[in-house]
Amino acid sequence: MSEQDKPKAIDVRISEIYDQLTSSERRLADVVIESQSNLASFTAGELADRARISKATAARFFKRLGYANYNEARVMNRQAEDWGSPLYELTGIGTKRLSQGDFGLHIAQDLQNLTRTAEMLDTDALAQAISMLTNAKRIWSLGFRNSMALATYARALLINIKPDVRLIPSAGMSFGEELAGMNKAEDTFLIFGFRRRPAQLRDVMEAIHDAGAPSILITDMTAGRTSQLATLTLRCHCRGHTMFDSYATPMSLINYICSGVSQSLGEESVERLTEIEALHSKLDQLGAPLIGKDSA
């Protein structure tokens, strides 16, 4: 089957009309996206119950997505290229094995993700994220599993321009120890929640929400209930051409936001970078390897 002949995945259909949905339809959309990888195991009534809507509203929702009914949605979702598990790709059910010529398709998928995300993200939301991080006295960068790499990258950029940027979870520490004393006056949380999200992410986000601390969630199109706990949610398209998701788009978004924070800080950012460079010139010499010389 060619790419043009493949049915649109249900998450793609939802993202195309998400802004036009009613509040009840959005609740169902979030439930469907979150359950996409095993949608066939749910009945329409079960999805409606989880979204706290009527079965009639659910029926109208799936017709609005272009399906005759929910059963057709389940069938076509199974037929669409699955991207929920690397095992799916390795078994040959999904896309074909990589060949030398597929690198162009790999890059094309990244370009499509970047373009669709740029079209989808609201400029006011991006400005709000930059403002929240600029004004924060202390920033916490948080991520589990693959999202930890994104949290680490964000912290690496922000520490150049802000004095108190912390990465969690840190090795050997519990969240109780890390988060004790957090408050809405000083803390802003930059949270990365890309699938698959462990249950602990929601627990931590609930604790942050209950403390009243503002949070920015950067996530993919499948985040449902976790997005309801964040002050601001920024979604990225990260579909990979083959077995793994692509993080090119969130990496680009992190770079953009952190650059915006630097510009907003102005001289404060320049002064910190100047101090860092001075320390680099002093300390990096001490840590440089002595090539061709005997060590002390």
Q: How far is CA 35 from CA 25, 29, 30, 211, 236, in A?
A: 15, 10, 9, 29, 18
Q: 189: phi > 0 → left, psi -120 to 50 → alpha, else beta; which? A: beta
pTM, two decimal places: 0.68
pLDDT score of 90: 41
- Res. 33: pLDDT tops 80: no
The chain-wide mean pLDDT, for the chain, equals 81
Overall average pLDDT of the 2-10 stretch = 60
Beta strands in 5-137 (DSSP E): none
C-alpha to C-alpha distance for 95 and 264, rounded to whole angstroms: 44
Q: What is the pLDDT of residues 45-69, one digit of tens each?
A: 999 999 999 999 999 999 999 999 9
Residue 91 binned pLDDT confidence (cut-offs 50, 70, 90): very low
Q: What is the pLDDT of residues 183-232, one digit of tens each?
A: 878 899 999 999 888 888 888 898 889 888 999 999 987 776 788 889 99
Beta strands in the chain (DSSP E): 138-143, 165-168, 187-193, 215-219, 232-235
pLDDT score of 291: 47
Domains in the chain, CATH or no CATH each = 10-81 (1.10.10.10), 119-281 (3.40.50.10490)
